[in-house]
Amino acid sequence: MGPQDAAGEVPNGLTTTLDTIGSSFVTLLKAVVPPLIFTAIVASIANLRTVTNAARLAGQTLLWFAITAAISVAVGIGLGLLFQPGNRASVSLDAASEPGRTGTWLDFLNGLIPGNVLGLGASTQVEVTDAGASASTSVSFNVLQILVVALVIGIAALKSGKKADPFLAFNRSALAIVQKVLWWIIRLAPIGTAGLIGYAIAAYGWTSLASLAWFAVAIYVGLAVVLFVVYPILLRTNGLKISSYFKGAWPAIQLAFVSRSSIGTLPVTQRVTERNLGVPSEYASFAVPLAATTKMDGCASIYPAISAIFVAQIFGIDLSITDYLLIAFVSVVGSAATAGLTGAIVMLTLTLSTVGLPLAGVGLLLAIDPILDMGRTAVNVAGQALVPTIVAKREGILDLEQYEAATAEDLFVDEDDDASSEATTETTATAETAEAAPSGTKEPVGASA
């Protein structure tokens, strides 16, 4: 019998093809993320020297991260108590198992310290079969460590003054090259999206939701409330049109839903935040990568809150007010602990261990995690675009005209192409004016020949 897919069935040619197409697209996106984060953060820090309120922007960004996370976890706790998913679930405790990986506060502290300047890590897995043993090594990158390295180098470059100008010039050139490669990859989005959606439908479907139907309903209702109720209220409170936000941010939200990766969606999130929502690139290039690693309203707020209540109900454990406050605390300040150990399961184990709930309950939820992860990631990315937009509006640096005209039609058009097009248009208009002018008309004083 061949290898099984996520649904427990032998994969066929269709699922294999769709999975290959979709995963290849996400892999390409992830491959360009490390150099993009590094060069963008260094460039943004260099540009912040021209911004008088840089420290205030950073503080406001973190404050709004906490505000939206607190609201999201409150929604999650409320829905968990309303739906009672653990008391309505038709699952057996025999299916409970310890998670393969866990999240702790020590993981967060260790994740801040780069193992190397590139933030890279390697892991080797050995598989023993009747034919012998085989080893495979995979290389991954720690986004939080890359962020720390870029921040330190960027600040050091600022402190070095003119001596760092050649390095900053090289970094700007490297950033332009990385962005060009990025948009070549992004042009494959329609093909990659088709593969990701097709594989999700073929491999998982909705049959596995039967035993955990109420839990899944509670999660998606919570995600919908945050995305379509909480976020719009925050937008209106800050004087922003709701329709413009969704029109501008939708390409990133849509890609996040099918790719299930905030990091893979990061390039598109930053693009729509700058181009569609009108956030200055100097600020967006700092806030969006930071948000992609630490701002997760879906994975770190709604999901662990409802899941903790579910696990407590399954095991017959009564939660106190203190326990609910601990869940809220972990959701607000603990999401960064998953930056180096990506995944909502890691955040869930951190929450359960902090509250003192059995980690074995995590195994009950793994069967439908891919289906839930689609919605969680979409809300994550929506929040990652929302906070910089709100902060920029409150600080008076948001391009309101650009925000009001938010559209995805020119998402893949390069700024250089726009500038060349405008220059060509202006040159043509000037030439036509000159031809139409009377032969005796004199040029103004100071005009170049």
Percent of the chain with pLDDT over 70: 67
**Using CA atoms, how far apart are residues 381 and 287, in angstroms rounded to an integer?**
13
Are the C-beta atoms of residues 394 and 60 closer than 8 Å to each other? yes
Give the phi and the psi of residue 126 in degrees, each rounded to 5: -110, 125
Per-residue pLDDT tens over the stretch 387-439: 999 999 999 999 999 998 876 555 555 554 544 444 444 444 444 444 444 44
**Using CA atoms, how far apart are residues 386 and 53, in angstroms rounded to an integer?**
20
Give the phi and the psi of residue 135 in degrees, each rounded to 5: -120, 140
Q: What is the pLDDT of residue 4?
A: 47
**Using CA atoms, how far apart are residues 304 and 251, in angstroms rounded to an integer?**
26
Statement: residue 7 has pLDDT above 50: no
Are the C-beta atoms of residues 248 and 17 closer than 8 Å to each other? no
Q: What is the pLDDT of residue 431?
A: 46
Per-residue pLDDT tens over the stretch 107-122: 556 666 666 666 556 5
Q: In terms of pLDDT, which residue wins out, 52 or 338?
A: 52
Per-residue pLDDT tens over the stretch 68-98: 999 999 999 999 999 988 777 665 554 444 4
Write 336-339 long-range contacts (CB < 8 A, 24+). 336/108, 336/144, 336/293, 336/294, 337/103, 337/104, 337/105, 337/107, 337/108, 337/111, 338/103, 338/296, 338/299, 338/300, 339/108, 339/111, 339/142, 339/143, 339/144, 339/293, 339/294
Per-residue pLDDT tens over the stretch 257-302: 887 888 778 888 988 999 899 999 888 888 888 888 778 888 888 9
Rounded average pLDDT over 219-247: 95
Statement: residue 161 has pLDDT above 60: yes
Return the minimum-mean-pLDDT range out of 10-14, 31-35, 100-104, 187-191: 100-104
Highest mean pLDDT among 17-21, 29-33, 137-141, 267-271: 267-271
Beta bridge partners of 140: 121
pLDDT band at 211 (very low <50, low <70, confident <90, very high): low
Q: What is the pLDDT of residue 353?
A: 79
Q: In terms of pLDDT, which residue wins out, 266 or 33?
A: 266
Average predicted confidence (pLDDT) for the chain: 76
Percent of the chain with pLDDT over 90: 22
